[in-house]
Amino acid sequence: MSTTQLPMQPVVDPAESPGAMTDRIAAIVLRERAYLWWWLLMIPSATLAGVMVVSILWLFYAGIGIWGIDWPVVWGFAIINYVWWIGIASGGTFISALFFLVRVEWRTSLNRLAESMTLFAAACAGIYPILHLGRPWFFYWLFPYPNTMTLWPQFRSPLFWDFCAILAYVVSSILFWYLGAIPDFATMRDTSVRRRPQLFYGVLALGFRGSGREWRNFRAAYAVLAAIMAPMVCSVHSIVGLDFAAAQTTGWHSTQFPPFFVFGAVLSGFGMVLFLALPLRRLLRLEAFITGRHLEVLARLLLVSSLCVIYAYMMDAFSTYYGAEPAEKIFFHERVTGLYAGVYWSTLLLNCVLPQLLWWRRLRLNQALVWLISSGVIVGMWLERYGIVVVSLHRPKLPSAWGNFTASIWDWALFAGTVGFFFAGLLVVVRLVPIISIFEMREILRKRQA
Amino acid sequence: MTGLLAAFPSEQTLQSALAALRKEVLAPIETHTPQPLEADPPRSVLPLVILLAGLLGAFGTFALEAYATTASYPFDIGRRPYFSWPAYVPMAFEMGALAAVAAGFFGFLIANRLPHLYDPIDESPAFRRASRDAFFVAVRTKDPQQAARARAVLEALSPISLEEFLA
C-alpha cells in the first residue's frame, strides 16, 4: 500500500536532549496557574463528580429501587457500567505491562497516561458492585474473616472470584503506577524552585536519589511486577466473563465468554487511550514525545482488537445456531429484530464496521477521524455490554417471565457522575504528575544518541 | 565524616571516574544518576522475595479455601465433592498476584531504606541535577588521607562540579 510514500515517524523527536526534555515535561506540571482549557474541562467534570456523590447518597438513603432494575432484568446499569469501566481500565495495563515486557519503545511516552487512565477507570468500576449489593454497608461480608455467624464466603462462585480479582487489580494498579512514578517525583522535587511543590514532590518521592542500589532494585522489581500485571489483567476480564458464563441465563452460558471479554476490554481500553492521547498531545504540546508513530501504532492495535471482537461476535451467532437450544434462538432473534435491535446493530457498526477504516494508512494518520472512531468504539463497547446484560435477561427461558428494562434518571445520573469522576481524576493527574515518564524517556534518548 | 560529590556529563565519563576511584581510594563509593546505569546489571534480591510472596499468597489462599469448604463449613451441594479444587484456583491466583505485587512494592521501599526524606548530600546545590542530566559519584570517608586522594583523582578527571558535603 502507501508505506513507501510516508516514512515511519520516530518515537521521539531526535532533536531532544535529556535536560531539555526533563524541563519541558516538568514545566507542564510546575506552572503556577493551570491552563484555561484545564479549568474549562475541570468545571463540568467536577460538577458531574458531584452528581455521582449525590446519586450515591440518595441510593444509600432510598435503596436500589431508585434504579430501573426489576424482575427479570435484575442486572442493569450497575453491571453494564462496571464491565465497561473495568474494560477501559485494561487498556492502560496492557500498554504499561505487556508492552514493557516485549520491549517496544513507543510504549514509554504513553505509559503514564495509560496507567493513570487505568487507575480512575478501575476506581469507577470498583464502586459499582458495592453499590449493587443492595445493602452496601455489609460489603465486608465478602471478606473471609472469622465472624460470629461462623459463615464463609462462597469460594466456588465466580462472583466471589470477581470480588477478589477486582480488589487485587485495583490495589496492584495503584502500587504499580506509584512505583513507576517514584523516579519522576524525585525529578519534580529537584526541578521545582518553590517551597510547596518541593515539599509535595519530596514526600511523594520518598527520598529516591537515583543511587546505584535504588536503580538496581527498581529495575528488577518493576520488570517482575510488569510480568505479574500482564497475566493479571487477562485473568480479571476472564473472571468478569465467568460472572456471566457460569449462569444458566440465555445468551450468557457460553465457554467463549472469558476470551470474548478480554477482547472487548482491550478494544475499549485502546479506544480510550487514543481518545485521551489525541487531544492531550496537542493541548500540552507533546508532539515531540507522542509522535505520529504512537498514534499509528494505537490505531493498528484498535483495528486488531476490533478483529478479535468480530470473531467473538461471529462465534456468538454461530454457537446459537449450532446448538439446538430453542430459548437461545428466540433470544437471538429478539436481539437482532426485537425491542433492543438498535443496540445490537449499533454495536456492530461502532465496534466492527467503522474500525475497518483503519486498514488504510492515510486514514490512520487522520487524527480527527481516528478520534471519532475511538469515541465510537467506547460507545460501542458500552452498547455491547447493554446487549449482554439487558437483552439476555429480558428474555429468560420461561416466556411468562419476559419483561423489559428502562433506565431511571438515577441510573443515568450515577453513570454520568462516574464519567465526570474519571475525567476529573485524570485532569488532577495531568496537573500534578508528569504525564510522560521522564526517566524512561531519558533511556530512549540515550539509545537514540548512541 | 566528609563526603565528596562529583558530577559528570555522561555515563561513560562516570564509569571512568568509578574505575579510577576504585583503584586509588579505599572508601564507600555511591553513584546517583538520572537513569539506571547500562553497565550495572539489575541484580537484586527482590525478584526472589516477590516469587516467595506470590507462592505464599497463592498457596495460602488455596489452603484457606480448602479448609473452609472441607473442614470448617462442609456444605453438600448435590453430592459434589467438598474438595472442589478447580474452583479454588482463580482466587488463589489473584491473591498470589496481589501478594507478589505488594511484596515487590514494599520490598522495594525496605531494600532501599525508603522513605529517607533527608540526607546531608541534599545540601549540595549541584546535586539537583542528579535527577535531570548529570551523573554523580559520591565518596564518603572519615580518613582525611583518603578524602584528599579521592579529591585528587576526581579533579584530574575534570568533572562538571566537585563539592564537599558533611556526610
The answer to whether the beta carbons of residues A288 and A260 sit under 8 Å apart is no
Q: How far is A228 from chain B (nearest CA, A)?
A: 6
- The model's pLDDT over B25-78, given as tens digits with 9 standing for 90+, comes to 888 999 999 999 988 887 899 999 999 999 999 999 999 999 999 999 998 888
Q: Which domain holds residue A260?
A: 19-134+164-449
CA distance A168 to A409: 32
Tell which A residues from 366 to 395 touch B, by Cβ distance under 8 Å.
Answer: none
Would the pLDDT of A5 be above 70?
no
pLDDT band at residue A17 under the 50/70/90 scheme: confident
Answer yes or no: do B83 and B104 share one domain.
yes
Q: Which of residues 262 through 291 in chain A touch B, CB cutoff 8 A?
A: none
Which of A209-223, A317-331, B61-75 has the least mean pLDDT?
A317-331
Q: Is residue B58 part of a domain?
A: yes
Domain count, chain B: 2
The mean per-residue pLDDT over the stretch A291-301 comes to 91
Chain A residues within 8 A of B94 when measuring between CB atoms: 161, 164-165, 167-169, 232, 235-236, 239
All 3 cell numbers of residue A419?
464519567
pLDDT at position A2, please? 41
Given an 8 Å threshold on Cβ–Cβ distance, is A191 in contact with B117? no
Reply yes or no on whether the pLDDT at A447 is more than 90.
no
pLDDT tens readout for residues A117-167: 999 999 999 999 999 988 888 989 989 988 898 889 999 999 999 999 999
Look at A164 and B68 and tell me if their CB atoms are within 8 Å: no
What integer pLDDT is reported at residue A7 of this predicted model?
A: 58
Q: Between chains, do A209 and B32 touch, taking CB under 8 Å as contact?
A: yes
Residue A416 predicted with pLDDT over 80 = yes
Report residue B5 CA to chain centroid gap: 21
**Cβ-defined contact of B108 to A218 (cutoff 8 Å):** yes
Chain A stretch 208-247, residues whose beta carbon is closer than 8 A to a beta carbon of chain B: 208-221, 223-225, 228-229, 231-232, 235-236, 239, 242
In this predicted structure, the answer to whether residue A327 has a pLDDT above a threshold of 60 is yes
Domain assignment present for residue A157? The answer is no
The reported pTM is 0.94
Residue at B40 is within a domain: no
Residue B105 domain-assigned (yes or no): yes
Query: Which positions 105-164 of B are in contact with A (Cβ < 8 Å)?
Result: 105, 107-109, 111-112, 114-119, 121, 127-133
Q: Kindly state whether residue B118 falls inside one of the protein's structural domains.
A: no
Instruction: Work out the end-to-end distance of chain A between its first and last CA atoms, rounded to an integer number of angstroms.
Output: 33
Question: How far is A98 from A95, CA to CA, in rounded Å?
Answer: 6
Q: In the prediction, which pLDDT does A73 show?
A: 92
Q: What is the pLDDT of residue B75?
A: 87
Q: What is the pLDDT of residues A30-81, one digit of tens each?
A: 988 999 999 999 999 999 999 999 999 999 999 999 999 998 999 999 999 9
Q: How confident is the model at residue A412 (pLDDT cuts 50, 70, 90)?
A: very high
CB atoms within 10 A of CB B160: 15
- Window A:129-148, CB contacts with B under 8 Å: 144
Longest dimension (CA), chain A: 73
**Which pLDDT does position A102 carry in this prediction?**
86
For an interface test with A, the pick among B14, B65, B94, B117 (most A C-beta atoms closer than 10 Å) comes out as B94
Chain A residue with Cα closest to B126: A190
CA atoms B70, B71, B74, B78: torsion sign: positive
> Is the Cβ of A261 closer than 8 Å to some Cβ of chain B?
no
Inspect the interface and report whether the beta carbons of A203 and B65 lie closer than 8 Å.
no
CB–CB of B105 and A178 under 8 A? yes
**Domain contains A158:** no
Least Cα distance to A437 among A3, A21, A10, A1 occurs for: A21
A303, A172, A29: which is closest to B95 by C-alpha?
Answer: A172
Same domain for B58 and B96:
yes
Identify the band that residue A4 occupies on the pLDDT scale cut at 50, 70 and 90.
very low
Cα-Cα-Cα-Cα dihedral sign, residues A381, A385, A390, A395: positive
Q: Which residues of B touch A168 (CB under 8 A)?
A: 94-95, 97-98, 101
Q: Which residue of A has its CA nearest to B80?
A: A156
| Residue B150 belongs to domain spanning | 2-34+133-166
Mean predicted confidence (pLDDT) in A370-387: 97
Give dist(CA A411, CA A151) in Å, integer: 33
3-state secondary structure of A371: helix
- Residue B123 within any structural domain of the chain: no
* B143 found inside a domain: yes
Three-state SS for B165? strand
Q: Residue A429: what pLDDT?
A: 96
Residue A427 covered by a domain? yes
Task: Report the pLDDT value the prediction gives residue B38, as an integer from 0 to 100.
Answer: 86
The number of beta carbons lying within 10 Å of the beta carbon of residue B52 is 13
Residues of A in contact with B120 (CB under 8 A): none
* A227 belongs to a structural domain: yes
Distance CA B130, CA A205 (A): 14
- pLDDT at position B8 is 94
Tell which wins on pLDDT, A382 or B43.
Answer: A382
- Tell me the pLDDT tens digit for each residue of A168-198: 999 999 999 999 999 999 999 999 999 999 9
Q: What CA–CA distance (Å, rounded) separates A288 from A295?
A: 13
Strand pairing report for B135-141 and B161-166: unpaired
Q: What is the pLDDT of residue A8?
A: 65
CATH of the domain at B20: 3.30.70.1710
Q: Averaging pLDDT over each range in A249-253, A304-308, B158-162, which range is the top one?
A: A304-308
Q: Yes or no: say if B136 and B7 are a contact pair by the CB < 8 Å rule.
A: yes
C-alpha cell at A228: 505479574
Q: Is residue A10 part of a domain?
A: no
Contacts of A169 in chain B (CB under 8 A): 94
The percent of residues above 70 in pLDDT, for chain A, comes to 98
Residue A5 in any domain: the answer is no
| Preferred mutation among B108, B113, B121, B135 to probe A, highest tally of A CBs within 10 A | B108
Examine the domain organization and report whether B57 and B107 are in the same domain.
yes
* Among candidates A164, A190, A439 on the partner chain, residue whose Cβ is nearest the Cβ of B35: A439
Q: CB–CB of A213 and B111 under 8 A?
A: yes
On the question of a cis peptide bond just before residue B81, with omega within 30 degrees of 0, the verdict is no
A·B CB contacts under 8 A? 194
User: Is B46–A224 a contact, with Cβ atoms under 8 angstroms apart?
Assistant: yes
B148 domain-assigned:
yes
Residue B138 and residue B106 share a domain: no
Q: Is residue A303 part of a domain?
A: yes
Give the count of beta carbons closer than 10 Å to the beta carbon of residue A133.
15
pLDDT, residue B110, reads 96
B79 by DSSP, 3-state: which? coil
- B85 shares a domain with B64: yes
Average model confidence (pLDDT) across chain B: 92
In a domain, A171, yes or no: yes
CB contact under 8 A, A179 and B108: yes
List the one residue out of A57, A70, A175, A74 whose CA is nearest residue A127: A57
What was the pLDDT predicted at B118? Answer: 93
Residues 6+ apart with CB under 8 A from A1: A360, A361
3-state secondary structure of A11: coil
Identify whether B119 is part of a domain: no
Q: Is the peptide bond before B115 cis (omega within 30 degrees of 0)?
A: yes
Region of B76 (left: φ > 0; alpha: ψ -120 to 50; beta: rest) is beta
Can you tell me the distance from the alpha carbon of B113 to that of B108, in angstroms, rounded to the nearest whole number? 8
Nearest to A220 among B33, B35, B42 (CB): B42
Query: In this predicted structure, what is the pLDDT of residue B24?
Result: 87
Q: What is the pLDDT of residue A288?
A: 87
**CA–CA separation, A434 and A344 (whole Å):** 40
CB B72 within 8 A of CB A207: no
Which residues of chain A does B105 touch, with a Cβ-Cβ cutoff of 8 Å? 175-176, 178-179, 221, 225
Whole-number Å distance between alpha carbons of A23 and B97: 37
Q: What mean pLDDT is predicted for residues A274-297? A: 92
| pLDDT number for residue A3 | 43
Residue-wise pLDDT tens digits, A339-372: 999 999 999 999 999 999 999 999 999 999 999 9
| Lowest-confidence segment of A3-12, B28-37, B76-85 by average pLDDT | A3-12
Q: Is the dihedral of CA B142, B146, B149, B153 positive or negative?
A: negative
Whole-number pLDDT of residue A450? 66
Nearest by Cα to B94 from A269, A234, A87, A144: A234
